[in-house]
A and B are shown apart, each in its own frame.
Chain A
Amino acid sequence: MNYQLRNNRSNRYTKPLQVTVVVIVVLIFVRLVVPTALDSFFADLFSPLWRIEIIVSGADFSASAARDDLSALAGSQSSIASITLLQQENAELKALLGRAPAEPSGKSGTSAIGTFVLAAVLKAPPLSAYDSLVIDLGSDENVKVDDRVFALATNPVIASIASSTLATSSPASSTSMTEVLTPIGTVSETSANSSKVGLFSSPGMKYSVEIGPDHIPATAIAQGGGMFEAELAQGAHVNIGDTITIPNIETLTFGTVGAIVNDPAEPYMNVLFQEPVNIYQLRWVLVGNGQTVGI
């Protein structure tokens, strides 16, 4: 009669365990010696595959054309009379207070808040499990770690003003007027031809924000997927649709209040809000070269 040896059972695990230990040791060694080596290697390996997707979808041509026309896009944005007037007034006030606005420069395109470059989104949630984007610009295009990433979104405040005061204007002009740049993330890693962007809504991230017309200060905690939560004291004057802004010299819209969870038994109420841009549908973003404004 044959008996199965006791250690045969553990032998099944021996080789996988050895492989796993070797992989972990190599991984730690590579991380310690060249921290970005693995990221750059895989990014360079997968960049051609992502570009195939862009070429197949026909977005590549659009990307190059859009980059050429970026200056025109920025120009058309700032050509709207009322916003230009407000920007001038804002700049004058800042100059009076010793806060000069950022000088527009660079060939890629400029806005009231500095220089930016248009980038195509190669991969975005929910395709990636993390709250991260992969964009088609890298260090070759002067994209650096910690650069701010913006998306065009509809500003509810400007939209309401536009709908009430510009009822006679064409729908197209009022639509373009309501679009504003919203910060959505930060460049966390760059390779030659692509960059990884960490979104502000990555779970657990905390930000100082101001809520509503009363500018109630609060700490927003990211929940993932473009969603945030903030705790406010009971009785705080907040309504659904109120704008969330970042307390900074440059007023940047961070989101709009979507729901208020108010339990009278609790000393606090929870304000749930989302970014004005849907991160799941992002196709283009603007990378602010050297931007440090905002969060």
Chain B
Amino acid sequence: MHTFLRILAAVFMIALIAWGNWWLILIAAIVFLFLYETYYEIILWGICCDALYGLPPSLSPRLFNLFNMSYLATLISIALLFLGIFLKKRLTFYS
């Protein structure tokens, strides 16, 4: 059941990435981050957003770029993953 719900969450995230606003994707990712113990998928969603919508440095000079690609969403997702782990340790809800 747990695995099935996690797959459903992944399908929901894919649908949001395809059709939703970027801030909806962010909110849903944060919700799942706190619902699941360690939500590794968030990194995949970040990579996915960068690959789909990110621009090369020649067209996005103000964003973080590496190897001719923007990694803004990937970096945010990694930061959120570790922030989630850090906060869960300190929230009484999880103890």
Q: Which residues of A contact B (CB under 8 A)?
A: 9, 12-13, 15-16, 19-20, 23, 27-28, 31-32, 35, 38-39, 41-43, 46, 49-50, 53, 123, 126-132, 134, 186, 188-189, 196, 198-199, 202-205
Contact present for B67 and A46 (CB under 8 Å): no
Interface residues of B in 42-82 (CB under 8 A from A): 43, 47-49, 51-56, 58-63, 66-70, 72-74, 78, 81-82
> Residues of B contacting A12 with CB < 8 Å?
85, 89
Contact present for A46 and B59 (CB under 8 Å): no
Contact present for A127 and B20 (CB under 8 Å): yes
CB distance from B72 to the nearest CB of A (A): 8
> Residues of A contacting B22 with CB < 8 Å?
126-129
CB distance from B35 to the nearest CB of A (A): 16
Contact present for A130 and B61 (CB under 8 Å): no
Contact present for B47 and A38 (CB under 8 Å): yes
Q: List 19 interface pairs A-B (beta carbons < 8 Å), by A numbering.
A: A13-B85, A19-B40, A19-B43, A20-B78, A31-B66, A35-B69, A39-B69, A41-B51, A46-B18, A49-B14, A49-B15, A127-B22, A129-B49, A129-B72, A130-B70, A188-B55, A188-B58, A196-B55, A198-B58
Contact present for B47 and A129 (CB under 8 Å): no
Contact present for A196 and B53 (CB under 8 Å): yes
Contact present for A31 and B67 (CB under 8 Å): yes
Nearest B residue to A130 via CB reads B53
Nearest B residue to A203 via CB reads B62
Chain B interface residue count, CB cutoff 8 Å, equals 39
> Residues of B contacting A19 with CB < 8 Å?
40, 43
> Residues of A contacting B3 with CB < 8 Å?
none
CB distance from B95 to the nearest CB of A (A): 12
Contact present for A53 and B19 (CB under 8 Å): yes
> Residues of A contacting B47 with CB < 8 Å?
23, 27, 38
Contact present for A123 and B53 (CB under 8 Å): yes
Q: How far is the CA of A198 from the CA of B62 in the complex (A)?
A: 14
Contact present for B51 and A198 (CB under 8 Å): no
Q: How far is the CA of A16 from the CA of B36 in the complex (A)?
A: 13
Contact present for A39 and B51 (CB under 8 Å): yes
Q: Choose among A19, A130, A189, A198 the residue with the greatest number of B CB atoms under 10 Å from its CB.
A: A130
Q: Which residues of B contact A (CB under 8 A)?
A: 14-15, 17-22, 38, 40, 43, 47-49, 51-56, 58-63, 66-70, 72-74, 78, 81-82, 85, 89
Contact present for A43 and B55 (CB under 8 Å): no
Nearest B residue to A185 via CB reads B59
Q: Choose among B15, B38, B59, B61 the residue with the greatest number of A CB atoms under 10 Å from its CB.
A: B59
CB distance from A74 to the nearest CB of B (A): 28
Nearest A residue to B25 via CB reads A129
Q: Which of B60, B81, B89 contacts A130 (CB 8 A)?
A: B60
Query: Quick one: given A19-B43, A31-B67, A198-B60, are A134 and B19 in contact (CB under 8 Å)?
Result: no
> Residues of A contacting B53 with CB < 8 Å?
123, 128-130, 132, 134, 196
| Known contacts A129-B53, A202-B55, then 17 further A-B pairs from the complex at CB < 8 Å, ordered by chain A residue | A9-B89, A16-B38, A16-B40, A16-B85, A27-B47, A28-B67, A43-B52, A46-B18, A123-B52, A127-B22, A129-B49, A134-B53, A186-B59, A188-B55, A196-B52, A198-B56, A203-B63
CB distance from B51 to the nearest CB of A (A): 4
CB distance from B55 to the nearest CB of A (A): 4
Contact present for A49 and B19 (CB under 8 Å): yes
Q: Which of A42, A129, A199 contacts B51 (CB 8 A)?
A: A42
> Residues of B contacting A15 with CB < 8 Å?
38
Contact present for A203 and B67 (CB under 8 Å): no
Q: How far is the CA of A131 from the CA of B56 in the complex (A)?
A: 11
**Closest 5 A/B residue pairs (Cβ):** A198-B59, A204-B62, A129-B22, A204-B61, A49-B18
